[in-house]
């Protein structure tokens, strides 16, 4: 491999880099725009000569946005609302994935078909009866509305996670499990002593994606947990952002110091605040995120 590296033409290489950098800039443009305008004061916004760099480093916007969003409470609740269902997802999807990967039972193909169908089917179709069911069970507007389906493998995007686990458990050599069986381990023991430890990459992938997807889900969170009339005390950063202008105007009325009117800078500061936790998570765990799809072998399907 080392000796046979054929040279690619300079022009080709140059154009590839140029294209990548251009597209990369387009990708980052909204984020850069967000950062730069969130730091601007009102005067900077109105000054047409200032495009990117604000005249001063102004953090006042963030302070006001955070105060109106009730940032720390929303952050804590977001973490709980994304974290707890993620753990449930890990538990249920790993067990289900193992069942699908290791055992042959009648009707397995039908089960697989239903799993794939339930991924394609829009959640709106089951949304209304589920809403009624939750309110009958009395778990509507509580975290149980997310935890309960996740515990039974029907959480948000659970079909993908089940398939990831299945794919992963299939890659573990069958001999390993058979050996453990011969050594006297039962079905469950060979599952959590042999299969689970070697599936660590799958756990990382599923945990990360599940966390991110739960964090970013606003439609179902608003319906099941936040309450459509905002009548529960659960909220997340994304939902706070969704109702940002309402929140801000109510904050403005109660604020003791004269708060400025809602403007682009404050909007962008609020947006940045709501994605900041995930961005930090991403840059800390970037390797796991980027290599996750490679390792799970979801592409083997």
Partner 1 sequence: MNMAETTKLTRKEKKALKERMKHLRSGKLEKRYARMGYLFMIPWFIGAGVFLAYPLISSFWYALNNIRITPLGRVFTFVGKGNFTQILIQDPDFLVQLVDYLTSTILSTPIIVVFALLIAMMLNMRIKGKGFFRLIFFLPVIIVSGPILKMLTAEGAGSISAIDVQSLTAAIGSVLPSMLAKPISDVFSNMITTLWYSGVQILIFLSGLQKIDKSMYEAAKIDGGSGWECFWKITLPNLKSMILLNTIYTIVFISSNSQNPIIVLIQNSMFSGTKEKGYGYASAMAWLYSVVVLLLVGLFTLLLTTRKDQYEKQVKRSKKLKKKEARNLKRIERRNSRNAKRIEKQRAKGKITTHTTSRSDY
User: For residues 82 and 206, what is the distance between their CA atoms, to the nearest angstrom?
Assistant: 13
Residue 108 binds partner 1, judged by CB under 8 A:
yes
Residue 165 binds partner 1, judged by CB under 8 A:
no
Residue 129 binds partner 1, judged by CB under 8 A:
yes
Say if residue 128 is exposed, middle or buried (CB neighbours under 10 Å; 0-12, 13-18, 19+).
exposed
Residue 244 binds partner 1, judged by CB under 8 A:
yes
Task: Give the other-Cβ count within 10 Å of 22's Cβ.
Answer: 10
- Alpha-helical (H) ranges within 51-138 are 60-69, 71-102, 108-120, 124-137
Q: Minimum CB separation from partner 1 for residue 249, in Å?
A: 16
> Of residues 46, 176, 179, 279, which one binds partner 1 by CB under 8 A?
279
Is residue 85 within 8 A of residue 155, CB to CB? The reply is: yes
| Interface map 9-48 toward partner 1 (x if CB under 8 A) | ----x--xx-xx--xx-xxxxxx-xx--x-----------
User: For residues 12 and 177, what is the distance between their CA atoms, to the nearest angstrom?
Assistant: 50
Residue 87 binds partner 1, judged by CB under 8 A:
no
Residue 122 binds partner 1, judged by CB under 8 A:
yes
Is residue 36 within 8 A of residue 54, CB to CB? The reply is: yes
**In the window 181-220, what residues touch partner 1 (CB under 8 A)?**
187, 191, 212, 215-219
Q: Which one of the spans 78-86, 119-127, 196-204, 246-254 is the region binding partner 1 (CB under 8 A)? A: 119-127
Q: Toward partner 1, which CB reaches closer, 154 or 198? A: 154
Q: Minimum CB separation from partner 1 for residue 77, in Å?
A: 16
**In the window 54-83, what residues touch partner 1 (CB under 8 A)?**
none
Residue 180 binds partner 1, judged by CB under 8 A:
no
Residue of 277, 244, 236, 283 lying closest to 84 (CA atoms): 236
Residue 144 binds partner 1, judged by CB under 8 A:
no
> Of residues 70, 79, 83, 118, which one binds partner 1 by CB under 8 A?
118
Q: Which one of the spans 63-71, 76-84, 252-260, 281-289 is the region binding partner 1 (CB under 8 A)? A: 281-289
Residue 174 binds partner 1, judged by CB under 8 A:
no
Task: Give the other-Cβ count within 10 Å of 251's Cβ.
Answer: 17
> Of residues 60, 80, 123, 198, which one binds partner 1 by CB under 8 A?
123
User: For residues 104 and 111, what is the distance between their CA atoms, to the nearest angstrom?
Assistant: 12
Residue 139 binds partner 1, judged by CB under 8 A:
no
Question: Directed axis angle between helix 158-171 and helix 200-216, to 10°?
Answer: 170
Q: What are the structure tokens assigned to 58, written together? A: 């102004």
Is residue 159 within 8 A of residue 115, CB to CB? The reply is: yes
Q: Toward partner 1, which CB reaches closer, 42 or 95? A: 95
Is residue 211 within 8 A of residue 78, CB to CB? The reply is: no
Chain center to CA of 172: 27
N residues, the chain: 301
Q: Toward partner 1, which CB reaches closer, 58 or 292? A: 292
């Amino acid at each position: 491999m080392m000796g046979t590296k054929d040279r690619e033409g300079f022009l080709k290489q140059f154009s590839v880099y140029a294209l990548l950098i251009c597209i990369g800039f387009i990708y980052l443009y909204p984020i850069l725009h967000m950062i730069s305008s969130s730091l601007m004061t009102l005067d900077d916004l109105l000054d047409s000569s200032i495009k990117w760099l604000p005249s001063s480093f102004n953090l006042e916007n963030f302070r006001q946005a955070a105060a109106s969003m009730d940032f720390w409470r929303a952050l804590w609740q977001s973490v709980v609302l994304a974290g707890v269902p993620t753990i449930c997802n890990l538990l249920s999807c790993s067990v289900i994935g193992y069942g699908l990967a290791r055992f042959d039972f009648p009707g397995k193909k039908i089960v697989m078909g239903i799993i794939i169908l339930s991924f394609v089917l829009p959640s709106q179709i089951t949304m209304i009866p589920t809403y009624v069911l939750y309110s009958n069970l009395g778990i509507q507007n509580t975290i149980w509305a997310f935890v309960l389906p996740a515990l039974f493998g029907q959480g948000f995007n659970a079909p993908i996670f089940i398939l990831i686990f299945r794919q992963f458990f299939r890659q573990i050599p069958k001999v390993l499990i058979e050996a453990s069986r011969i050594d006297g381990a039962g079905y469950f023991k060979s599952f959590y002593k042999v299969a689970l430890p070697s599936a660590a990459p799958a756990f990382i992938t599923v945990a990360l994606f599940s966390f991110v997807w739960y964090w970013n889900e606003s439609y179902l969170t608003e319906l099941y947990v936040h309450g459509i009339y905002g009548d529960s005390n659960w909220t997340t950063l994304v939902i706070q952002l969704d109702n940002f202008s309402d929140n801000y105007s109510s904050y403005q009325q109660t604020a003791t110091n004269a708060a400025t009117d809602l403007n682009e800078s404050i909007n962008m500061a609020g947006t940045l605040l709501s994605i900041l936790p995930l961005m930090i998570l991403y840059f800390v765990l970037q390797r796991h995120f980027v290599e996750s799809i490679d390792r799970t072998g979801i592409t083997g399907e």
